[in-house]
Chain A
Amino acid sequence: MWKITYRVHRQKGHEAPHYDTFQVEVDPEEYVLDGVEKIWAFEDRSLTFRHACHHSTCGACGMRVNGVEKLTCITKIKDVTQDGGTLTVEPLRNFPIVSDLVVDLGPLYRKMEAVQAPKVHPLSMAPWEGEDIRPPKEVPAPPEGGEYIRLPDCLECGICISACPVAASDPDYLGPAPLAAIQIQGLDGHPELLALADSQEGVWRCHSAFECSAVCPSNVDPGWRIMDLRKQVATQRLKTIIG
């Protein structure tokens, strides 16, 4: 067991934010989120934080750990501090704060709905990059016919938005995850998506900091997708000019 210090961002109602420190005994194999839950269970019941799945599939537990955006449910304590060390835990940036570590992800969810981000999609739409052990690329169709359906990679965790410097100054910028969701669908036959991607708050707002791709925990690589979407937008526009 390790003894570490959690330095936790606190904020209630309209009070000014401050930091509380908690000395916690943790198993270094545990995750940062487990430590936060432990603080709530044994130290301070007033603490609020977001979580659900505890294994990187729901996107609820995004926070900043020592300044860097992380899915706290899969960030092992031993990877971000040492015995006797300190962990600073803060809410995501660029979202409204509800209280303590809780932000309102509403703006992201509304944008994802606006770009019709697929909620489930055929397996073939999922990129295979980064998979070393996998079923063959040509996955056989199920005997019942049709194609396998899967949930998309994007967890709608908002971590990319938190890391994006452009989202910091422009809350209306569509942002990495929604733009990536447009790219995944493609622009062919989607004039409404082309309009969104090519708008003021679309692909051209991005200033290529690539912070989204650096922090995305789920292989989405939104930075790459935004650049690819630029190419797609340019191609579509060229097509309409040439006719």
Chain B
Amino acid sequence: MKADKHNSKGFWDWFNPAGRDVGGWAFILNRISALGLAFYLYLHLFVLGKLAQGPEVFDQFIAAAKSPLYIAGELLVIAAALYHGLNGVRLVLNSFNIGVPRQKQMFYTALALTILGTLVFATRMFAG
């Protein structure tokens, strides 16, 4: 009897939704929102970099940024930030063993607030 293969796909399994319960989904969303935010940070730095290339380039970019597609992208960033922050509060509380038996409800609350917050931003941004 010899075993040699470790039955996992490493960190890809973070995103594997098979057989996951509520807490698992919270974890997956947390990871995805973290990666999304990290990616956004790079994007942001890239855009700031344009500033250094002179006003025309930047103006050109700002014009593009008014497109609905771009706004949708920004909303995604807002949603990710809201979720990551709110779920972060949930995790910090849990880490002090506060509300662990209610972690699912806390996740639903974080999710509801995220959706609500994103909707508020959406109406403002599309209106303005």
Residues of A within 8 A of B (CB): 64, 66-69, 91-98, 103-104, 106, 163, 165, 167-169, 171, 207-211, 213-215, 223-224, 227-228, 230-231, 234
Given A211-B21, A214-B23, A228-B97, A96 and B1 contact (CB-CB distance below 8 Å): no
Establish whether residues A93 and B14, one from each chain, have CB atoms under 8 Å apart when the complex forms: no
B128 within 8 A of A: no
Q: For the complex, give the distance between the alpha carbons of A97 and B27 in Å.
A: 26
Query: In the assembled complex, which residues on chain B have CB atoms less than 8 Å from the CB atom of A224?
Result: 97, 100-101
**Of B5-13, B36-44, B51-59, B70-78, the one touching chain A:** B5-13
Q: What class of interface size applies to chain B in its complex with A? A: 20 to 34
Given contacts A165-B14, A168-B13, A231-B97, contact A214 B3 (CB under 8 A): no
Q: How far is the CA of A97 from the CA of B52 in the complex (A)?
A: 55
**Docked-complex contact A64 and B10, CB < 8 angstroms:** no
Does chain A have a CB within 8 A of B46? Answer: no
B27:A207 contact, CB within 8 angstroms: yes
- B8: A residues at CB distance < 8 A: 93-94, 167-169, 171
Taking a contact as CB atoms under 8 Å apart, the answer to whether B100 and A223 are in contact is yes
B3 in complex: contacting residue of A104, A168, A207, CB < 8 Å: A104
CB contact between B19 and one of A68, A104, A208, A234 (< 8 Å): that residue: A68
Please determine whether A210 and B97 come into contact, CB atoms closer than 8 angstroms: no
Whether, in the assembled complex, B126 has its beta carbon less than 8 Å from a beta carbon of chain A, the answer is: no
How distant is A236 from chain B, measured CB to nearest CB, in Å? 14
B23 touches A213 (CB 8 A): yes
Question: Least Cβ distance of A84 to chain B in Å?
Answer: 23
Q: A94-B6, A98-B1, A231-B97 are in contact. Are A168 and B11 (CB under 8 A)?
A: yes
Give the docked Cα–Cα distance between A230 and B97 (Å).
Answer: 8
Taken together as a complex, chains A and B put the C-alpha atoms of A91 and B6 apart, in Å, by 11
Q: In the bound complex, how far is the Cα of B8 from the Cα of A92, in angstroms?
A: 9
Q: What is the interface of chain A mostly: helix, strand, loop, or mixed?
A: mixed
Residues on A with beta carbons closer than 8 Å to the beta carbon of B95: 208, 227, 230-231
Chosen A-B contacts, 5 in total, with CB atoms closer than 8 Å, are A95-B3, A103-B3, A169-B8, A209-B20, A210-B27
Shortest C-beta distance, B88 to chain A (Å), equals 10
Chain B residue nearest in CB terms to A68: B19
Q: Shortest beta-carbon distance, B9 to chain A, in Å?
A: 7
Residues of chain B lying within 8 A (CB to CB) of residue A103:
3, 7
Given contacts A69-B19, A208-B23, A209-B26, contact A96 B5 (CB under 8 A): yes
Is B24 among interface residues, defined by CB-CB distance under 8 A?
A: yes
Report the bound CA distance from A168 to B27 in whole Å: 13
CB of A227 within 8 A of CB of B94, answer yes
With a cutoff of 8 Å between Cβ atoms, the chain B residues found around residue A104 in the complex are 1, 3
User: Chain B CB within 10 Å — which of A95, A171, A208 has the most?
Assistant: A208
